Amino acid sequence: MSQNPSNQAVQGQQRLDRSDERVRHDEGILDLVWGFIDRVRSGDLGMLPVAVGLIVISIIFSTLNPIFLAPNNLVNLLFDCATVGVISLGIICVLVLGEIDLSVGSMSGLASAMVGVLWVNSGWPIAAAIFVALMVGAAVGLLYATLYNRLGMPSFIATLAGLLALLGMQLYILGPTGSINLPYASSLVRFGQIMIMPDWLSHTLALVPGLVMIGKGMRTMRQRQAANLSSQPLGALIIKALVLTVLLEVAVFYLNLGRGVPWMFGLFVALAVILNYALTRTKWGRSMFAVGGNREAARRSGINVRRIYMSAFVLCSTLATLGGILSASRLASSSQQAGTGDVNLNAIAAAVIGGTSLFGGRGSAYSALLGIIVIQAISNGLTLLNLSSSLRYMITGGVLAIAVIVDSLARRSRVSHGRA
C-alpha cells in the first residue's frame, strides 16, 4: 500500500533533522578536539603537563613496586598531600601577584609548636589554641604586607627574614625538650590519621563536579546565545562532564577498596574549591590577576593595590598556619623538625608544577591540588623503593626545573600568539 505523500514528506523531514543533529554532534566533538589542540599550540597548556607527569610517575613506580598503586598506599598519599597542599594554596595567592613567601615552612612549624604548647602544656581548649595560632599567622602576613606596601621591602627579603625569626620563635617556645606529643585519642589526631568519609558520601561528592560543570556550561550557553555569540556545543559539554564524573567515581571506588577517602584530604579539596571560586568569580579575584598582570595599570583602573597585596600575604600566612596544624595532627606531635626540611620547597614546587606562573597574573587554586599529588607521588614512590632522601631532593628539584622551563616556553608561545 502506498503511503500518503504528506506522511512521506514528514518522514523525510524527520530523517533530515536526525542527520543534521548527527552532523552537529560530530562537529561539536571535532570543535572540542581542535580547540584543545589550538590552545596547546598557543601556550595555554592548562593541566596537561601535570596529567602527563602523573601518568608517567604512576607507570614507573608501579612497574618498580606494585604496592605504589595499592588502594591503602594511595590513601596514605592523600593524607600526606593535605598538609603541604593547604600551605601551597597560600603560595598561589602571592605567586599570582608575582611575589613570594619563603617563610611558609617556618610559619607552619611555629603554628604546630603553638598548638602543642597551648593545648598540651598549658591546658587550653584545642579550639582556642588553634584560633590563637591562626591569628598569629594572620598577623605575620599583615606584617609582611606592611613592610612591602609602606617601606617597599621586597617580599623575598621580608619573608626570608621572617623564615629565620619564626624558626627562632618555634625553637624558643618548645624549649629544651624540643618535642610535644599530642594525645592520640584526641579528635585532632584522629582527624589527621584515621578519619575516613563514608563510601556513600565520597561517591555522592564525586558526582558534584560534573553536575556543576553542566549547570555552569548551560547557563553560559544561554547567555551567549541570547547575546548572539557562539558557544560550545551541548554535546561537547556533556562529554567533558561525563568523562570527569567517570574518572572521579572510578578513583573513589578504587580508594574505597582500601580505607577510603580521608576527611583531611576532603578539607583540602574544599579549601581549593573555595579559593578557586574567590579567584575566578569575585571582584577580589579579578583584582588579584589584574595586579599580577600589570600593577600600574591595575592602580590606574581604580584597584586598591595595597589592599590586594595585604589580603594575599595575610591569606598565605594563615593557610601556612593551618597547614602546620594539620601536619601536627598527622604526626601526633609538635617538634623542632616541623616545618623544616623540604616543606618550603614542596609548597612552592606544588604551585608551580600545577601550572601557576612565577611571572604573576596566571594561576589556579587547583594547581596546588594537582601539583602536590605529583610531589607526594614522587616522595612516596622513592620511599617504597627504599631510596635515600638525597635522590628525592634531586628528583623533586629536577621536576621543579622542568615545570619552570615549561612555564617559560608556554609564556613565550602565548606572547607570540597574542594571548599573554
Q: What are the pLDDT digits (tens) for 200-255?
A: 999 999 999 999 989 888 888 888 888 887 777 777 788 888 999 999 999 999 99
For residues 338-357, one letter each, b for 16 or more C-beta atoms within 10 angstroms of the residue's C-beta and e for the rest, the string is: bbeebbbbbbbbbbbbbbbb
Which pLDDT belongs to residue 27?
44
Over residues 130-151, the pLDDT tens digits come to: 999 999 999 999 999 999 999 9
Which pLDDT belongs to residue 10?
47
Note whether 96 and 289 are within 8 A (CB).
yes
> Which run of H or of E encompasses 181?
strand 179-181
374 pLDDT exceeds 80? yes
Q: What is the mean pLDDT of the chain?
A: 84
Name every residue whose Cβ is closer than 8 Å to that of residue 6 and which is 6 or more positions away in sequence: none
Over residues 15-26, the pLDDT tens digits come to: 544 444 444 444
Which pLDDT belongs to residue 291?
93
Over residues 279-329, the pLDDT tens digits come to: 999 999 999 999 998 888 999 999 999 999 999 999 999 999 999 999 999
Closest CA to 402 of 378, 366, 369: 378
Which pLDDT belongs to residue 312?
95
